[in-house]
Each structure stands twice: as structure tokens, then as C-alpha cells.
Amino acid sequence: MSPKVIYAAKEAVGARTLDIFKGVWIEYLLLRAITDALDSALGAAAQDFHTGNYRENGEFKVRRYLKQLLVWLLIVSFMKLSMVLLMVLLAGPLQSVANFVLGPFLAKPELKLLVVMLATPIAMNALQFWMTDNFIKKRDTEENGGQVGEGGATSDADHLPIGSSSNELEHLLPDGTSSPTPGR
């Protein structure tokens, strides 16, 4: 395998790691800042920009969805540009991270390529999608009086499959409860 391919592989691992951890953090901060700014500037009209809120009286609102999509695309574009800047500024440390991660695979170039081209992107993209979904989805806060609990959690109902209630899921656990934690 050519040195250029090895260098590109190392850069890809370091860049993807930076993109996931710093990038998602930047997306979160930008989303919060933009939502707060829109709330202040537009008042009640800013509801259209609250992520995950696409329905009104049960009807899907395409304009709301498109407004939120536009805001999200701007956020992601800004994040990607900031990641390029960070990758240029932090090229040395990123190379060290990539060397550490790919160290066990240096003796087998084919295995290293498999890690860089398949395993890393799949694992990192799944992590990024999961983390992003946790802050852009709409929270159902009616059950606990509109309050968000510690750690951003609202209620157990937020994490049930669509169309399910906790009563419908009681049969899933052997002791007939809807919670795997005793006493809940």
C-alpha cells in the first residue's frame, strides 16, 4: 500500500473522530443558540423552528418541516466548515490520534484499510446519528407537567416505540412490569 494511501487513511480516522465529538457538540450549541435567538426575536412564531415539532392538531406541516430543515442544513454547513478549520490547525495531534487508533493494524495494510473504510465510518456515523437524534427529536413532556428531568430526560414515555404506551409493553418483561429497574 502506498504511503499516500496510508497517510490518507490516518487522516480519515483522526478527522472522523474530531467530526463526531467536536462537531456534534458544535451542532448542539448552534441549535440551542439559534432556537433561543429565534424565540427572542419572533416570540410565538418561533414555534415553527422548534426541532421535531412538525405537526399542528395532528396535521403534518410542510412549511414547519422545511424551516427546520433549512436551519439544520445551515448549522451542519457551519459545523463542517469549522471542522475543516480545526483539522488544518490540529493536523499534528490528529495524526497522533490516528496513529494510536491504527497502531494494531499497521502490519496488515488490508485490515487497516477495512478499519478505515468500513468499521470507523459505520461506528462513528451510528454514534453521530444517535447523539444528534437525542437533541433534535421532539420531547413529550405532558406527562411530567412540561418539565425536563435531570440529564435532559423527560419521561419513560419518550422512549417507547411510536404508537405504544407503557401498558401495551407490560407483557415484554418476564415479571409483568414495564420497567427493567425494580421498584419503578
Whole-number Å distance between alpha carbons of 31 and 100: 33
Whole-number Å distance between alpha carbons of 105 and 42: 54
Tell me what pLDDT residue 151 has: 39
State the 10-residue block means of pLDDT for the chain, 184 residues long.
55 66 88 94 91 88 93 93 86 80 81 82 86 80 44 40 41 46 46
Q: Is 59 helix (H, G, I), strand (E, B) or coil?
A: strand
Tell me what pLDDT residue 62 has: 94
> Domain spans of the chain?
3-138, 140-184
Tell me what pLDDT residue 12 has: 61
Q: Is 29 helix (H, G, I), strand (E, B) or coil?
A: helix
Tell me what pLDDT residue 180 has: 46
Q: H or E element: which one contains 55? A: strand 55-56
Tell me what pLDDT residue 170 has: 44
Tell me what pLDDT residue 74 has: 95
Residue 8 · residue 97 · CB < 8 Å: no
User: Exposure pattern of 85-122 as b/e (b: 16+ CB <10 Å)?
Assistant: ebbeebeeebeebbeebbeebeeeeeebeebbeeebee
Tell me what pLDDT residue 68 has: 93
Instruction: Give the single-character DSSP code of 66.
Output: H
Angle at 65 between CA 133 and CA 151, to 5 degrees: 30
Length of the chain: 184
Tell me what pLDDT residue 114 has: 85
Q: H or E element: which one contains 94? A: helix 91-102
Tell me what pLDDT residue 142 has: 43
